Structure 1
Amino acid sequence: MTLPFRHSLTASMTIALLAGCGAGPSSQRAAETAAAQARLASAVAEAARPSASQPAPVSITAPVVDDTTARMLAYAERVRLMQPPELNQEIARLGDAASPGAQLQLSLALSQLRQLPELVRAQELLARVLGNGEARALHPLARLLASRYGEQRRLEEQLEKQNQQLRDVQRRLDQTNERLEALKAIERSLTSRQPAAAASAPANNRARPAAP
């Protein structure tokens, strides 16, 4: 029973007792009215009491992030903001990355270079982390990164293929331009020879003696 209902019930019972101590019909009617109010207050309080069949309220809490994962996410944000020279220094600092944590960090740093060979190496490092049974705390993040790197590698390979096709087209275009320039040079040489041949013909005619 809650405190307001308890106070209401106590007050109603007090009124009923005081009314019962009085004399006369009016006092009796007042006592009956007070008793009815007390019974009403008791019924309201009983209805407000939680039932045993009602489920207890469920406490919703935010998921707990492991400290190791939180540190890795903070490191990922830090290397994301690095410039290529800083990334190269960080990659050199990590070196061979013997521990799973260092391997995951090196993988994150390599992925920021956005070059296909480094991305392949980053995937290999993630595979080593996932194959280490003692690094289970890093496995969820490593699987997430492996999926992301797979998609990134697919895009990088597609971009590399398009760049190769563009280089091939440019090479064929350069070869065509070279042939065209060679043909133009031949045409210029033929054009320059024709006036020279035409100018030498009258001179030869003047030098030839007249027939008797």
Structure 2
Amino acid sequence: MKIEICSDSIESVIIANNIGVDSIELCSCLSVGGVTPSIGLIKDAINISDAPINCLIRPREGHFIYNDKEFDTIINDIKYAIKFGVKGIVIGVLNGDFKININQLSKIAEVSQDVGITFHRAFDNIVDSKEAIDILESFGVNRILSSGKANTAIKGIENLIDWKNYNSNILIQPGGGINKESALIFKNNGFESIHLSGTEKEKWSGYIPKSIEKTFLNQTLRRPSVMKIKSVVDVAKKN
């Protein structure tokens, strides 16, 4: 079973490569579910990574219903990411009725013909999952990242198995709260790939002068955990 790590820093990219993951989803700001990474992060990650880089394209946090200006940003970011050498893009675009925005998906597919396309966990906000799978396949999307419409993938495993069996032409990749125990369950159920961040929370623990404003120091960081990532990789690669 293959492992993809979601990385939002060069530190995480280096750790993922050292442990031997199969691919990396590159983003920024994991604390909000990830947004489009900076140009500098994309370039540096591609330069140092042996594992292929799939780039998240998400212009902001929050819902996946984008206006025309936001969508222009999405298209521009896709073009730049492909120009820099990413192997795939990770996207999700919906309408207000919680179905796929076919017009936007069509334009994304048009500019992404040379790379893989993953539809991310916006899929878990779609009302008719099997209809969506058929639509995504028709536009050349080769992978769906999903928690099975649950807050963790293991809780959504019945849906994930159902979708995997429904259409063998598109890869269903479980993601959301994956650990070594759930990784084994997904492996035993025939999933080809899983997705995780493998992070742990970290807060500033150093000295804070009384005279400074503390908003940013009080924010929680998500740091990559070698132990968490390695434990899942070991399960996935064990014969």
* TM-score, length-scaled by structure 1: 0.23
Structure number having the greater strand percentage: 2
Q: Which has the larger radius of gyration?
A: 1
Q: Which has the higher contact order (CA 8 A, sep 6+)?
A: 2
* TM-score, length-scaled by structure 2: 0.21
Structure number having the greater helix percentage: 1
